[in-house]
Amino acid sequence: MNHAQDALYWRLRHPIVRDLASVLLAPPLWLNQHELSRPQLLGAHGFRYLLDLDDNPSRLPEHLLHPLLGKYAENLLAFWLSSAPHTALLARNVAVPPLGECDFVAKIHDEVYHIELCCKYFGGQNVWRGLNPNDTLAKKAEKIQQQIQLSQHEHAQKIWREMGISGSLKRACVIRGNIFTPQAQIPAECAPTAWQGFWFDDFGKLADWVAQQPLFSGSRVCHLARNAYLAPARVAFEQTQSWQDAPPDKQGICAIVLPRPDGYWHEHSRAMFQAA
């Protein structure tokens, strides 16, 4: 699925709201039986609330931004759970010694959930790795399965009782990200609707390939900072570079951008480049 073509991103303008929309609405990177659905996250008025935030960004807290992608995504989801009409954030980063911690405890439509969030970006040809080669899809999927069991442990049950929460918590995951492959095909390990992009083993090969694609005629490149992965890029001309002038970084994720009538350059496709 080409995530950049979702019409929602043609409407939303503010970068934080665009990122928030991706945390809420993007398809899961891989399938998990506990995946929290769009209707659960959005409620009856979620789209309207997103549009209102985009039109009135002063309502966004100043502390949301964070240089680390994982913390930034957590801040966005925490903000939503604490402010959306149908949700209430009860706790965040709840330590369950000596086992680990639960990302969020929240009430959604009067039911209490333990929610685990992850946003991951994997690429390759046969083994799906992040820019940190020790970070693999297989390892993260296994870890999420372990984390989502934490709230059921007897140590956690004692914590919930102390918080005044009775009964078992429902378990839920929010799994976001991109998969990058040589032909932008979705591997069997990922969800069929996962957001995908192109994978190359160096930036020069990516630039040469783009030059041969009529679809990308007139395109420019935008190297993405680590905390700018969540939503499709919408950037000013000054934030882009020509393919000839772009620095040949050793590894990273970049957006292939094209101009739109609003005066901004919008992501059409995305690519990861890293050594095989």
What are the tens digits of pLDDT across the range 63-119? 999 999 999 999 999 999 999 999 999 999 999 999 999 999 999 998 999 999 999
pLDDT of residue 179: 97
The conformational region for residue 18 under phi > 0 = left, psi -120 to 50 = alpha, else beta, is alpha
**The pLDDT of residue 1 is above 60:** no
Distance CA 143, CA 147 (A): 6
Q: Helices 69-83 and 15-25 meet at what angle, rounded to 10?
A: 80
pLDDT of residue 184: 87
**The pLDDT of residue 155 is above 70:** yes
> Model confidence over 217-240: pLDDT tens digits?
999 999 999 999 999 999 999 999
The share of the chain scoring above pLDDT 70, in percent, equals 98
pLDDT of residue 108: 97
**The pLDDT of residue 204 is above 90:** yes
Distance CA 127, CA 39 (A): 33
**The pLDDT of residue 7 is above 90:** no
pLDDT of residue 276: 75
Helix (H) or strand (E) holding 55: helix 46-55
pLDDT of residue 167: 78
Quickly count: other Cβ atoms within 10 Å of residue 229's Cβ: 22
**Two tokens, residue 100:** 């680990």
Q: What's phi and psi for 129, nearest 5 deg? A: -120, 155
**Two tokens, residue 120:** 């991951």
Residues of the domain holding 162: 3-273
**Two tokens, residue 82:** 């604490």
| Number of structural domains found in the chain | 1
Query: Which pLDDT band holds residue 4 (cuts at 50, 70, 90)?
Result: low
Buried b (16+ CB within 10 A) or exposed e, 12-40: bebbbbbbbbbbbbbbbbbebebbbeeeb
Quickly count: other Cβ atoms within 10 Å of residue 230's Cβ: 23
pTM of the predicted structure, to 2 decimals: 0.96
The share of the chain scoring above pLDDT 90, in percent, equals 90
In this prediction, residues 169-193 reach a mean pLDDT of 95
Distance CA 157, CA 115 (A): 15
Query: Which pLDDT band holds residue 3 (cuts at 50, 70, 90)?
Result: low
SS3 call for 269: strand
